Amino acid sequence: MLISATELAGLATRARASLAALGGALGEYAQLVRLHRPVGIWLLLWPAMWGLWLAARGHPHANVFVVFVLGVVLTRSAGCAVNDVADRRFDPHVARTCDRPVAAGRVSAPEALMIYAILSLLALALVLTLDRLTVEFAVAGAGLMLVYPFLKRFFPLPQVWLGAAFSWSVPMAFAAETHAVPRLAWLVFVAGLLWTAVYDTMYAMVDREDDLKLGIRSTAILFGDADRWVLGAMQLLVLYSLWLAGEQAALGGWFHAGLAGGAVFFAYQQWLIRRRDPAGCFRAFANNVWVGLAVFLGIALDYLFRAPS
């Protein structure tokens, strides 16, 4: 049966409307998982890369590298989705988060949970290509990540828990590369935990006033007026933990140069948060991407230019 020009035009209009709706939904899902803000991906990626390069002595297996990079993107995205569901009652009352898709009602909580489930299953499928010990660590890490969004209601140190979740990739990397998790792995894990607590406290300083009104817990609130001093001490502990790891791995000048670069960025962050204004605190938080890069370059270059034994 022939279709009239009017009917054809109607079909074309409906098809365009459907495509526009699909594009709009995909755009909202991309915002839900923060693909437009990749800072979180980099911050989660660097400890994984530190662990991989140290575990493999500068030469990680290609398949392990790919699994960890893709796994970081999927895990961070899944974490954002479940975090927004957990915070859907709080986010509308916080200036920085009120326009998030779930908070603004553009994505429903069941939709966000569906995205979380899909991304988590994809991450699981990736890690199942590795050995059993790595899979066991991955399952534990997924639990750490899932619990985190709910801690800020009663736990005064949610940033420390997030540090454990974000740094869990370090023992995973050692398990994947060496089938063991030695003392070196835990030293780097501690450094990553402290580092995450540092930059997420800076992030929490952005929302401190709103969080106080809503009764949300954070280290920014716990530390109070001592926040800069505590953060400074934690930054020193990050550098010391990494230095100890470097000593155990017999790293040399390139690594120490990377640590020095990280120390410079830490000092700059202290300057940024000196007035505790939200814009400066957020810039200090984002600046931590360069700390992670400096440390990674130090590790990678040290192995790259190491004299043959």
CATH number at residue 267: 1.10.357.140
| Structural domain that includes position 42 | 23-304
Residue 137 has pLDDT above 70, yes or no: yes
Q: Is there a domain that residue 160 lies in? A: yes
Count of domains in the chain?
1
Task: Categorize the per-residue pLDDT at 19 as very low, low, confident or very high, splitting at 50, 70 and 90.
Answer: low
Identify the pLDDT of residue 144. Answer: 94
Q: pTM of the full predicted structure?
A: 0.91
Give the chain's length: 309
Residue 161 has pLDDT above 70, yes or no: yes
Q: Is there a domain that residue 283 lies in? A: yes
User: What is the tens place of the pLDDT at every residue in 265-303?
Assistant: 999 999 999 999 999 999 999 999 999 999 999 999 999
Long-range interactions of 231-234: CB distance < 8 A, separation 24+: 231/198, 231/201, 231/202, 231/270, 231/273, 232/270, 234/194, 234/197, 234/198
Q: Is there a domain that residue 198 lies in? A: yes
Of 128 and 96, the structure prediction assigns the larger pLDDT to 128
Q: Is there a domain that residue 17 lies in? A: no
Q: Is there a domain that residue 158 lies in? A: yes
Residue 251 has pLDDT above 90, yes or no: yes
Q: Is there a domain that residue 5 lies in? A: no
Task: Report the distance separating Cα 287 and Cα 281, nearest Å.
Answer: 10
User: What is the tens place of the pLDDT at every residue in 168-192?
Assistant: 999 999 999 999 999 999 999 999 9
Q: Is there a domain that residue 285 lies in? A: yes
Q: Is there a domain that residue 151 lies in? A: yes
% pLDDT > 90, the chain: 77
Which residues lie below 8 Å from residue 165, measured CB to CB, with a gap of 6+?
141, 144, 145, 148
